[in-house]
Protein backbone atom coordinates (compact mmCIF):
# COMPACT_ATOMS: atom_id res chain seq x y z
CA UNK A 1 0.00 0.00 0.00
CA UNK A 2 2.82 2.39 0.85
CA UNK A 3 4.47 1.64 -2.46
CA UNK A 4 1.33 2.62 -4.42
CA UNK A 5 0.92 5.76 -2.34
CA UNK A 6 4.54 6.72 -3.01
CA UNK A 7 4.16 6.11 -6.76
CA UNK A 8 0.91 8.12 -6.85
CA UNK A 9 2.47 10.99 -4.89
CA UNK A 10 5.52 11.03 -7.19
CA UNK A 11 3.33 11.12 -10.30
CA UNK A 12 1.27 13.98 -8.86
CA UNK A 13 4.42 15.99 -8.12
CA UNK A 14 5.79 15.39 -11.62
CA UNK A 15 2.46 16.44 -13.12
CA UNK A 16 2.35 19.63 -11.07
CA UNK A 17 5.95 20.47 -11.91
CA UNK A 18 5.17 20.12 -15.62
CA UNK A 19 2.13 22.36 -15.36
CA UNK A 20 4.09 25.25 -13.92
CA UNK A 21 6.37 25.61 -16.92
CA UNK A 22 5.54 28.47 -19.28
CA UNK A 23 5.02 27.57 -22.93
CA UNK A 24 7.83 28.53 -25.27
CA UNK A 25 8.02 29.13 -29.00
CA UNK A 26 9.39 26.52 -31.40
CA UNK A 27 13.15 27.00 -31.62
CA UNK A 28 14.49 28.50 -34.86
CA UNK A 29 17.82 28.89 -36.61
CA UNK A 30 18.60 31.67 -39.04
CA UNK A 31 21.29 32.75 -41.47
CA UNK A 32 19.43 36.03 -41.99
CA UNK A 33 16.00 37.52 -41.49
CA UNK A 34 13.52 40.00 -42.87
CA UNK A 35 12.31 42.61 -40.39
CA UNK A 36 9.64 45.25 -40.69
CA UNK A 37 7.62 47.76 -38.74
CA UNK A 38 4.24 48.97 -39.98
CA UNK A 39 4.45 49.11 -43.78
CA UNK A 40 8.28 48.89 -44.04
CA UNK A 41 10.17 45.66 -44.57
CA UNK A 42 13.95 45.19 -44.84
CA UNK A 43 16.11 42.18 -45.59
CA UNK A 44 18.86 41.73 -43.04
CA UNK A 45 21.21 39.54 -45.01
CA UNK A 46 24.49 41.06 -46.13
CA UNK A 47 24.34 44.32 -44.24
CA UNK A 48 23.94 42.86 -40.73
CA UNK A 49 26.59 41.27 -38.54
CA UNK A 50 26.19 37.59 -37.68
CA UNK A 51 26.30 38.59 -34.01
CA UNK A 52 23.15 40.70 -34.47
CA UNK A 53 21.37 37.86 -36.27
CA UNK A 54 22.30 35.39 -33.56
CA UNK A 55 21.24 37.74 -30.76
CA UNK A 56 17.79 38.13 -32.34
CA UNK A 57 17.48 34.36 -32.84
CA UNK A 58 18.51 33.77 -29.21
CA UNK A 59 15.99 36.34 -27.97
CA UNK A 60 13.25 34.70 -30.06
CA UNK A 61 14.14 31.21 -28.84
CA UNK A 62 13.81 32.39 -25.23
CA UNK A 63 10.28 33.77 -25.64
CA UNK A 64 7.86 32.46 -23.05
CA UNK A 65 4.20 33.31 -23.20
CA UNK A 66 1.38 33.32 -20.70
CA UNK A 67 -1.47 32.22 -22.93
CA UNK A 68 -3.80 33.19 -25.73
CA UNK A 69 -5.83 36.37 -26.09
CA UNK A 70 -8.69 37.52 -28.29
CA UNK A 71 -7.35 41.06 -28.47
CA UNK A 72 -6.06 42.11 -31.90
CA UNK A 73 -2.51 43.23 -32.55
CA UNK A 74 -1.72 46.87 -33.26
CA UNK A 75 -0.50 46.42 -36.84
CA UNK A 76 0.90 49.96 -37.03
CA UNK A 77 3.24 49.28 -34.09
CA UNK A 78 3.95 45.62 -34.86
CA UNK A 79 7.36 44.30 -35.72
CA UNK A 80 7.38 41.48 -38.29
CA UNK A 81 10.30 39.07 -38.43
CA UNK A 82 10.80 36.18 -40.88
CA UNK A 83 13.72 33.94 -39.98
CA UNK A 84 15.50 32.27 -42.93
CA UNK A 85 17.84 29.28 -42.52
CA UNK A 86 19.49 27.55 -45.51
CA UNK A 87 17.31 29.69 -47.80
CA UNK A 88 14.16 28.23 -46.24
CA UNK A 89 11.61 29.78 -43.97
CA UNK A 90 12.49 28.87 -40.37
CA UNK A 91 10.01 30.91 -38.33
CA UNK A 92 7.92 34.05 -38.14
CA UNK A 93 6.68 36.39 -35.45
CA UNK A 94 4.56 39.51 -35.45
CA UNK A 95 4.66 41.29 -32.10
CA UNK A 96 3.24 44.62 -30.98
CA UNK A 97 4.53 46.81 -28.20
CA UNK A 98 1.84 45.62 -25.76
CA UNK A 99 3.29 42.10 -25.91
CA UNK A 100 0.67 40.43 -28.08
CA UNK A 101 2.09 38.28 -30.86
CA UNK A 102 1.31 35.71 -33.54
CA UNK A 103 3.51 32.93 -34.87
CA UNK A 104 3.54 31.83 -38.49
CA UNK A 105 0.21 32.05 -40.26
CA UNK A 106 -1.78 30.90 -37.25
CA UNK A 107 -4.86 32.82 -36.25
CA UNK A 108 -3.98 32.51 -32.58
CA UNK A 109 -2.73 35.56 -30.72
CA UNK A 110 -0.59 35.05 -27.63
CA UNK A 111 0.58 37.27 -24.80
CA UNK A 112 4.30 37.35 -24.13
CA UNK A 113 5.58 36.95 -20.60
CA UNK A 114 5.69 40.39 -18.95
CA UNK A 115 9.36 40.05 -18.08
CA UNK A 116 10.31 39.64 -21.74
CA UNK A 117 12.06 42.48 -23.53
CA UNK A 118 11.84 40.86 -26.96
CA UNK A 119 9.91 43.75 -28.53
CA UNK A 120 12.51 46.26 -27.34
CA UNK A 121 15.38 44.11 -28.65
CA UNK A 122 13.63 43.63 -31.98
CA UNK A 123 12.98 47.37 -32.25
CA UNK A 124 16.69 48.11 -31.74
CA UNK A 125 17.60 45.56 -34.42
CA UNK A 126 14.96 47.01 -36.75
CA UNK A 127 16.38 50.51 -36.34
CA UNK A 128 19.91 49.19 -36.92
CA UNK A 129 18.85 47.41 -40.12
CA UNK A 130 16.86 50.43 -41.34
CA UNK A 131 19.99 52.62 -41.09
CA UNK A 132 21.67 50.37 -43.65
CA UNK A 133 19.09 51.27 -46.31
Q: Is 16 part of any domain?
A: no
Give the pLDDT confidence of 33-67 residue by residue, as tens digits: 999 998 899 998 887 889 999 999 999 999 988 88
Q: Containing H/E element for 9? A: helix 2-19
Q: Is 117 part of any domain?
A: yes
Q: Is 8 part of any domain?
A: no
Q: Is 41 part of any domain?
A: yes
Q: Is 6 part of any domain?
A: no
State the residue range of the domain holding 113.
23-131
Q: What pLDDT, on a 0 to 100 scale, did the predictor assign at position 115? A: 87
Mean pLDDT of 113-129: 92
What's the domain count of the chain?
Answer: 1
Q: Which pLDDT band, with edges at 50, 70 and 90, does 85 fall under?
A: very high
- Give me the CATH number covering residue 102: 2.60.40
Whether the Cβ atoms of residue 85 and residue 54 lie closer than 8 Å to each other: no
Q: How far apart are CA 85 and CA 31, in angstroms?
A: 5
Nearest to 69 by CA among 96, 46, 47, 100: 100
Q: Is 114 part of any domain?
A: yes
Q: Is 90 part of any domain?
A: yes
- Residue 79's DSSP bridge partners are 37, 95
Amino acid sequence: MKKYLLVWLTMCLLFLAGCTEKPQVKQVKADYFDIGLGQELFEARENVHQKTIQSLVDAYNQIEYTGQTDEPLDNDQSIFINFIHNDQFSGHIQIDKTGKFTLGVADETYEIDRESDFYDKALVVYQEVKKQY
